[in-house]
Structure 1
Amino acid sequence: MPFITANGIQIYYEERGSGKPLLLIMGITAPCAVWEKHVAYWEQNYRCILFDNRGVGASEKPEGAYTTAEMADDSADLLEALNIPEAAVVGVSMGGAIALQLAIRHPDKVKAMVLMCPWASCDPRGEAIFRHMMHAKAHLRPEQFANFIQVLIFHKSTWDHGSEELSESRKQASVDESPQPLHGLEGQAHACISHNVVSQLKSINIPSLVIGGKEDIFIPEWMAREVAEGIPDCELHLYENAGHAFHWEELDDFNPRVLDWLDTNY
């Protein structure tokens, strides 16, 4: 298993494909393996670098609250350690928040950026969701916690027509041999709550695409729009009848859409 020391911790990472580097930053609770349905497509054109964020997967899981700035520095140091001076970045949810910080704190390292269901600041409702996520993790069995996350991220159409796949995912959670520890989830949730870059969005001067689902109940449409409207000349695409997991619900459109955008802007 490939590890590298970045920002003072051990980071697990993978590389897939060849070409220009593409850094993929995952969301809260999820290891980098969750990129599989996308990286299998994008690796045909790009050198994809995917990694476990601090607090999850095989990477180190320090105690205490994290910040998106700290996690952006993890990403920057990972690129540095791999001798990659600059890359395009795709970040999903918390990964989108981290990508924003990466572009703000290390602008020389980011050439283009795709932000999937991102947010620039966390409002009281958002904070309540993240705090409830911590409480749920502390008190629910793994399959029950997985069900809670599914309720947050999937649109009604997935529940109506993909319930067997959701059920199988819950079963897998119940037998996961290396689940995210509570303190790792808490560290990441605190990073999500404290994230606020609204006043800094205007300083981002790279090609950017914000993409999301119009019926996202976790990170709602207004949050995506706040990011897109704050970054100069940022493009925005919102899928109809899709939730937080729009990138799986609209997979056949999403994968080539992002690839085409990268080919044009990177």
Structure 2
Amino acid sequence: MLAYRHAFHAGNHADVLKHTMLGMVLRYMNQKDKPYRLVDTHAGAGGYSLEGRYAQKKGEFEQGIGRLWERDDLPEAVANYVDAVRSFNPGGALEQYPGSPAFAQMLLREQDQARFYELHPTDYRILEAYLGKTKHMQVMNADGFEGLKSQVPPSTRRALVLMDPSYEGTADYGKVIASLRDALTRFAEGVYMVWYPQVQKVEAAQLPRRLEALAPKGWLHARLTVQEPDSQGFGLAGSGVFILNPPYTLHDELLTVLPYLVDVLGQYDEAEYLLEQRAS
């Protein structure tokens, strides 16, 4: 797991879906004055150079944020996402991509809290230098699955947990389920947001149904499929976001967002989206 570097994938189609939805959920939570805690279990470096050798190796951002950068027909939620990336690039050119902690910093209010976990030593040092001294934010070089146990329930009784491990092997799928099951016993009212890759693994295909079984008060599942696997069946065809206890407004907002992203990010004729939910 410590070999994984998100810099190779920063700004790709999976980041577009994840960070657009993260912004939507954070904006919803900001509608109430009461503070909340964000827990990011696999935070990464906080920001990534799109001109560096990692991002340039496959240029994945060109098929993600790159396809949205110059468009003037963006739905509101996608426009908010692109505006956030623009604020991370004050020179006007697309040179840097913000990670989840940077998106969170843009949207969290003074009364809110953030707890960022990152195990990779280099990414941790970058994130610590970036946000470690920011008021109400803590950056920890620790396992986010384990760290979550100490973060819920928060004293505010409001929380959003973002869980997006690398899923490089198969162990992370089971850890997601075990960690969420434990968290829900501690704090069933929290909002839990899980990103997962659409890849040729049984565990990936089974994960949404396993998450459904955990949801005590309803769930929402969004998936974006944009490209075909390679000739051997490998590659990231798309990705999904599963939310336990989702904002009630999210489903209807995504009815505009997801078809748009299919049209703009789709790389083959069968590109599609899935949107399903179970209300509490």
TM-score (norm 2): 0.32
